Amino acid sequence: MKVLKFGGSSVASAENIEKVVVIVKQKAEQSNVAIVVSALGRVTDKLISAGKLASTGNEEYKHILVELEERHLAEVRNLIPVSAQSSVLSQVKKRLNEIDNICEGVYLIGELSKKTLDRIMSYGELLSSLIIAEKLKAEGVDVALKDTRELIKTDAHYGNANVDFDNSNLLIWQYFNQSSRITVLPGFVASTESNETTTLGRGGSDYTASIIAGALNAEVLEIWTDVSGMMTADPRIVGQAYPIDKISYGEAMELSHFGAKVIYPPTIQPVLERKIPVWIKNTFAPNDAGTLILENGNESPGIVKGLSSVDKIALLSLEGSGMVGVPGFSRRLFDALSRKLINVIFITQGSSEHSISVGVLEEDVIRAKTVVDSEFAFEISIKKVEPLSVERGLCIVALVGDKMRSQPGVSGKMFSALGRNGINVRAIAQGSSEKNISAVINEKDVRKALNVLHEEFFETPTKQVNLFIVGTGNVGGKLIEQIRKQQHFLKEELRLNVRIIGLANSKKMCFDENGMDLENWKEKLLEGETMDMRQFIQRSKALNKRNSVFVDNTASEAVSKIYEELLENNISLVTCNKIACASTYKNYRKLKQLAMNQNVSFLFETNVGAGLPIIGTLNDMVRSGDRVRKIDAVLSGSLNFIFNNFKEGVSFENVVRQAQTEGYTEPDPRIDLTGTDVKRKILILIRESGVAMEMEDIATDSFMPADCLEGTVDNFFAKLKEHGQVFDEIYKRANAEGKKLKFVASYNEGKAKVGLQAVDRDHPLYMLDGKDNIVLFTTDRYHEQPLIVKGAGAGAEVTASGIFADIIKTAR
């Protein structure tokens, strides 16, 4: 004997029922089958609504009943041949009239008891089982329709009745001992010894099938639904979720208790006792393997079998010094909740016994607080216990797996993954069986948490990285192009799925939660909404994506001021913008410390030397215990380009214009020529060396006439032309001595300066060409010969590559 149960989605329409019939006929070729069916999709909800509306005197209930009548009669006409329709329509109409009469009685007396509601709800399954049985008969199949109210006996706990297994098992065995090849039964419904209709709780059709399978010691219980088995996580939340091939009874019970909707939690118990396999199958993809639940299901690969969650949870905490060492507080708490029929989903207690916390559904909070505060009124009055504290807006996420008990580090891996993504854990519980590790988190973080944990425990180690990029000019455009070209490589070689979720320039911004198509990002941005930095940040935070990285490709002070907010919200930060790191030392340290505290990255390699590994090299030396004594550097690719191309017969003004045109200088070249940009860079290196220093502590030896620094950029170029002879003289003096002009930044034992210098032929800076940068680190370890980092220090391509490298470091 096989027992098959078909859920509401499987019998939601005539088209779906046709699929059910095909499956049933195939199964019946192999053995006798019992078919348990749910009500047509959403019918039970409508019956409940009709009953409740009737009890309040609202005649809208009649419209619902008319709708239900039309639907069921239409399904009969679609499924049953015309020649056989009359009898079936008559039987269905009779049932519908009974519902109408009951609801009219409820309407007249203005009362809906649980007993009456059970009677109303039962008609969903009674109607669907009748229609499906008649459809099978019309197909020429040997089929019987049996009312499960005659087989399953319960107590009178209406709404969620308790089964009398001894009596029910006997009745089931006696009936099926002489049953037809195929028996169709309504799920969900049962009756008391006095034949009053009861129900087995929402999802009770699964339970019905399990009770029958257990009583008959069936070969298998098949649960046919609209998904191909139990999934590693809810596929509506985790796009990468996939079906579990095998799972143990215990694991299935844990997952179903913690929100997995595929199977009703009590279903497992009757089949567990007789070790009957349960197979979760897909009505709409019957050839899919599905999930097999059996005693030794934990022998399949994988330490963690599934993730689940329960939303709309409130955390109730009872605490007080008067609880310490005093027995009975926990008992009284649970007794009080039990008296109000409040289900406790989660329990945790500190070893100090100072507090105990329980999780309940939010809908039970008011009743829970009332009864608990009443129970402990005396202790509260004498300050031994605090009034029950309530925290709403929470959910529970749970890892489930039998093998977790023998595998160290699972909890650490779980909480580390959540912590890296800024998900605060409010409470933790792990059962003594170690099949389940549960954490209470903020409800807004549940999507992120499940995706983070699924990525950590179930996926081949491909990490999703979500970028929010501000600045799409020369550097930003090159960066996006580099990401586009490297996406395949990153997935294949580094297991990184780098996606751009948000994109903005000074005029427009756009978002795509699934990652932008980088072939047409310019068009997407052009069609975007008006840029608003505050809105861009709020949207980035609200999306709450795992492994989020904000990329600042601007030189904007306004953008630099939002770094703190980003880091506080656990969004990593990669920037080529020097303003934040060259601001006050207090702000610089605050950002660094904040990144450390929030366990996110704050990387700014391109602040100095574009794509050159200057800061990274310096960090490695300092972290390994080396001490920086001296720094000598040419840190401006633009200034190096200018002075390498400034020669006799070429005006200084034209060289500066060329540098600006080719993108080597800032839009206002005075930032470069006054040494402001170089001062920021040497300051950052000094700070990364471990020395506290402010911008004003760095001396500047300026070679620029004062009036060149006034007015607009156009006025600046006019003054350069006017003072051409001054610059020519500077060049001639250096050239006459066989020296070259270099704008040098230096640090030596606590003192720093920047300025134009004429360097000798034997100096390492002399041969620096083009737009290259060079940094010489003299340290305790590199004291005879400095460690030198040299290369292209300006240009959109190399700067973008430096930013890209920081993104990859952040991701890994």
Examine the domain organization and report whether 33 and 149 are in the same domain: yes
With 90 as the cut, is the pLDDT of residue 768 above it?
no
Shared domain check, 711 and 648: yes
Is 281 within the bounds of a domain?
A: no
For residue 234, give both structure tokens.
């809810």
SS3 readout for 32-99: CEEEEECCCCCHHHHHHHHHHHHHCCCCHHHHHHHHHHHHHHHHHHHHCCHHHHHHHHHHHHHHHHHH
Single residue among 225, 247, 270 that ends a domain in this structure: 225
Is the pLDDT at 231 greater than 70? The verdict is: yes
Average pLDDT, the chain: 91
Record the tokens describing residue 386, joined without a space.
């605090």
Looking at residue 389, its pLDDT comes to 93
* Same-domain pairing of 372 and 337: yes
Contacts of 600 (CB under 8 A, 6+ apart): 420, 422, 567, 570, 571, 572, 573
In a domain, 467, yes or no: yes
Q: Which residues are registered as beta bridge partners of 319?
A: 355
- Is 736 a residue whose pLDDT tops 70? yes
Q: In sequence order, what DSSP letters do the residues of 181-224 get, joined into one string? A: SEEEEESSEEE-TT--EEE--TTHHHHHHHHHHHHHT-SEEEEE
- Domain CATH for 320: 3.30.2130.10
Q: Is residue 67 part of a domain?
A: yes
Same domain, 645 and 741: yes
Domain span including residue 633: 614-793
Distances (CA, A) of 688 to 14, 683, 692, 752: 71, 9, 9, 14
- Cα–Cα distance between 379 and 99 in angstroms, integer? 52
345 pLDDT band, cuts 50/70/90, is: confident
Q: Is residue 284 part of a domain?
A: no
Same domain, 447 and 486: no
Give how far Cα 414 sits from Cα of 234, 534, 654, Å. 18, 33, 60
* CATH number for 46: 3.40.1160.10
> Quick one: pLDDT band at residue 667, thresholds 50, 70, 90?
confident
Nearest to 401 by CA among 440, 424, 426, 431: 431
Average pLDDT over residues 243-256: 85
Q: How many domains does the chain have?
A: 4
Cβ-count burial 661-684 (b if 16+ within 10 Å, e if not): eebbbeeebbbbbbbbbbbbbbbb
Task: Give the 3-state secondary structure of 438-455.
Answer: EEEEEHHHHHHHHHHHHH
How many Å apart are CA 290 and CA 274, to the nearest integer? Answer: 21
- Average pLDDT of span 595-614: 93
Domain boundary among 398, 425, 457: 457
Cα torsion at 290, 295, 299, 302 (round to 10°)?
60
Q: Are 616 and 806 in contact (CB under 8 A)?
A: no
What is the percent of the chain where pLDDT is above 70? 97
Mean pLDDT of 17-43: 94
Residues 594 and 667 in one domain: no
Please, what is the Cα angle at 114 between 113 and 120, to 5 degrees?
Answer: 90
Q: Which of 97, 119, 108, 92 is nearest to 57 (CA)?
A: 108
Domain of 556, CATH number, reads 3.40.50.720
**For residue 696, what is the DSSP state?**
G
> Using CA of residue 158, residue 162, residue 168, residue 172, what is the dihedral sign?
positive
Q: Which residues are catalytic?
A: 681
What pLDDT, on a 0 to 100 scale, did the predictor assign at position 352? 56
Spatial CA neighbour of 642 closest among 798, 793, 763 = 793
Residue 61 has pLDDT above 80, yes or no: yes
Tokens of 596: 């450390």
Rg (CA), the chain: 37
Kindly report each contact of residues 43-46 with a partner whose C-beta sits within 8 Å and lies 24 or more positions away, as own/partner: 43/8, 43/68, 43/71, 43/124, 43/127, 43/128, 44/8, 44/121, 44/124, 44/188, 44/202
Higher per-residue pLDDT: 307 or 296: 307
Each residue's pLDDT tens digit, 502-549: 999 999 999 999 899 999 999 999 999 999 999 999 999 999 898 999
One-letter amino acid of 277: P
Report d(CA 715, CA 711) in Å as an integer: 6
Write down how long the chain is. 812
Q: Which of 428, 457, 486 represents a domain boundary (last residue)?
A: 457
Q: Supply the pLDDT for residue 313.
A: 93
According to the model, what pLDDT value does residue 746 have?
Answer: 95
Q: ∠ CA(19), CA(20), CA(26), 5° rounding?
A: 95
Which pLDDT score, from 0 to 100, does residue 748 have? 94
Per-residue pLDDT at 628: 95
Indicate whether 560 and 621 sit together in one domain.
Answer: no
Q: Could you tell me if 449 and 568 lie in one domain?
A: no
Contact (CB, 8 A) for 191 and 161: no
| Co-location of 631 and 721 in the same domain | yes
Structure token digits, residue 476: 């930003």
Specify whether 339 is located in the same domain as 469. no
Vertex 135, ends 134 and 140: CA angle to 5°? Answer: 90
Asked if 800 contacts 792 with a C-beta cutoff of 8 angstroms, the reply is: no
531 with 676, same domain?
Answer: no
Burial of 576 (0-12, 13-18, 19+ CB in 10 A): buried
My answer on whether 166 and 41 are in the same domain is: yes
C-alpha angle 200/204/207, rounded to 5°?
100
